[in-house]
Amino acid sequence: MTIPQPMPASTPSRPWFVVSRETLILIACALAVLAVAGRYATSGESAGDAVAPFGYFAAFPMLGVVALLWWRRRWPIMVATIAIVVSLIFPTTPFVALTAVTGAVAASRGGTRWLLVAGAYAATVVSFLWDVFSTSSLLAAFVDGAAVGSAARLSLLPFIPLLAALVAAPFIGSGFLRQYRQERDEARAGTAAAARNVAVLHDEVAREHERQEIARELHDTLAARLSAVSLHAGAFELAASESGDAALTAARRVREAAQGSLDELRAVVEVLKNPATARRGTGLSDLSLLIDRVTGDGADVRAQIMVTDPTSCNNEVSHALYRILQESISNARRHAGDVAIRVDVRGGPQTGVSASVTNAMTVGLPPSSVGGGNGLVGMQERVASVGGSFQAGVTPEGTFRVAVWMPWEGVSSPISSNGD
């Protein structure tokens, strides 16, 4: 039994709204970098500030990091690591590193994730420290613009860890939330796949139950009746032995036919009970026996069989062809009477196998027995199940012809041709 597996996800191009969102994030980060660098460069108070030139030139590597944010979903850990390292070295805004860490937290697990969280927090703390010791400090606004090194400015230092945590928390929390959503979606996908697999298992169990029921019904009804026919045919043969050769031959044929039908019925029951381990049914190698049997029954069958290496043919193809020829000959005898039946079978591993059964049509002759009317339909279904072609109908010469072709190896199909 084969359980379908989910198909691997492809990597389609980003939707337009995702591209727009990522572009806005990159623009916002670039503006934040330029704003900090511009403050360091243009503040009049920063003329004697050693941090100011360093902060101004920090804009160039940071803009490179901003460009890397475009690939933060493809290489989240690498981009986040670069952003953290650059933010630890240069006086700049922490928002670039925090933006990169958001995706990295969602994509990483275990110790790597917590290292990235610690690095982003450290980069935020360092960024605020650069600001506190700069003459163009933004945090100095909380102490009325106190000068660098003054007690009022230094009083900001104890609050920097708390302020850094407050700033970093939304970004890191967003990463954890994204990770939770990813795990939730994966769990839902796994549950859906498991549900599909359970449904397949239930379907297989139901089919197996149906096969067992059919096998029991066949065994308990047809097998019992055919056994009785075989028993009575044996008694008829014994009684006919005193009535002449013709009656004896007819009785023997009845007994052999009943016994053969019983053997085939048992084979079908075995296939229904255990399709995986049932022995191979009749096939190309048995066509000569089929022709001999119907000829022995009095049919005028003229067969030409030219098949290369019949044992290498696919079992389903071989068995389907046998049943199609058997049904075609039976139909010809039932509907056309004692006319000549031409059987032609050719094939090999390179060409596939083709077969035709042709007989003259007898107008006004009633069928010798009443069938279910599904013979041609059943043949067509057998051929379709192995990927072949089927034709049946009256030819321009006025004969009825059944012609099939099937590939030597067959093809996969949801319709099985093992059963009869």
**Domain with 345 in it: what CATH number?**
3.30.565.10
Q: Give the strand order in the sheet containing 389-394.
A: 301-307, 341-348, 352-360, 399-406, 389-394
The two counts, helices (H) then strands (E), for the chain are: 13, 5
How far is residue 316's CA from residue 408's CA, in Å, rounded to a whole number?
A: 10
Looking at 121, 139, 155, the residue that finishes a domain is 155
d(C-alpha 145, C-alpha 226), whole Å: 109
Where in the sequence is the domain holding 134, given as residue range(s)?
16-155
- On whether residue 167 sits in a domain, the answer given is no
DSSP-derived pairing of the beta strands 301-307 and 399-406: unpaired
Q: Is 239 part of any domain?
A: no
Model pLDDT, residue 7: 42
50/268 Cα distance (integer angstroms): 94
- Residue 268 placed within a domain: no
Question: What would the pLDDT profile of 239-280 be if each residue is shown by its tens digit?
Answer: 666 666 666 666 666 767 677 677 777 766 676 666 665 555
Domain-embedded: residue 348: yes
Looking at mean pLDDT, say which of 161-165, 332-336, 404-408 comes out highest. Answer: 404-408
Q: The tokens of 402 are what?
A: 């059944």
Q: Residue 415 carries which DSSP code?
A: S
What percent of the chain has a predicted confidence (pLDDT) above 70?
72
Q: Is the pLDDT of residue 171 over 50?
A: yes
- For residue 101, pLDDT over 80 is answered with yes
Higher pLDDT, 5 or 398: 398
Average pLDDT over residues 18-42: 79
Q: What is the mean predicted confidence (pLDDT) over 181-200?
A: 89
Residue range 21-36: mean pLDDT, rounded: 83
Residue 172 lies in a domain: no
The model's confidence at residue 9, banded by pLDDT at 50, 70 and 90, is: very low
Percent of the chain with pLDDT strictly greater than 90: 11
Report how far residue 390's alpha carbon sits from residue 412's, in angstroms, rounded to the nearest whole number.
Answer: 18
* Gap between the terminal Cα atoms of the chain: 21
Please answer whether residues 376 and 405 qualify as being in contact, where contact means their C-beta atoms are separated by less than 8 angstroms.
Answer: no
Distance CA 235, CA 393 (A): 42
Mean pLDDT of the region 166-190? 87
Q: How far is the CA of 127 from the CAs of 85, 89, 170, in angstroms?
A: 12, 9, 17
Greatest mean pLDDT among 63-77, 237-251, 356-370: 63-77
107: in domain: yes
* Domains of the chain: total: 2
* pLDDT-derived band at 331, boundaries 50, 70, 90: confident
What confidence category does residue 406 fall into, taking pLDDT thresholds of 50, 70 and 90?
A: very high
Residue 418's pLDDT band (cuts 50, 70, 90):
very low
pLDDT band, very low/low/confident/very high, at 186 (cuts 50, 70, 90):
confident
Is the pLDDT at 353 greater than 90? The verdict is yes
**Residue 288 domain flag:** yes
Q: Is the per-residue pLDDT at 154 higher than 70?
A: yes
Euclidean distance between CA atoms 36 and 59, whole angstroms: 8
pLDDT digits (tens, 9 = 90+) for 214-247: 766 666 556 556 656 666 666 666 666 666 666 6
Last residue of a domain, one of 140, 155, 170: 155
Q: Is the dihedral of CA 253, 259, 264, 269 positive or negative?
A: positive
Q: Is 42 exposed, middle or buried (0-12, 13-18, 19+ CB in 10 A)?
A: exposed
pLDDT of the residue at 334: 79
Domain presence at residue 194: no
pTM of the model: 0.45
Q: Indicate the average pLDDT of the chain.
A: 78
**How many CA atoms are closer than 13 Å to the CA of 366, on its beta-carbon side?**
3
Judge residue 16's burial from the number of C-beta atoms within 10 Å of its C-beta, 0-12 exposed, 13-18 middle, 19 or more buried.
exposed
Q: Which of 105, 135, 155 delimits the end of a domain?
A: 155
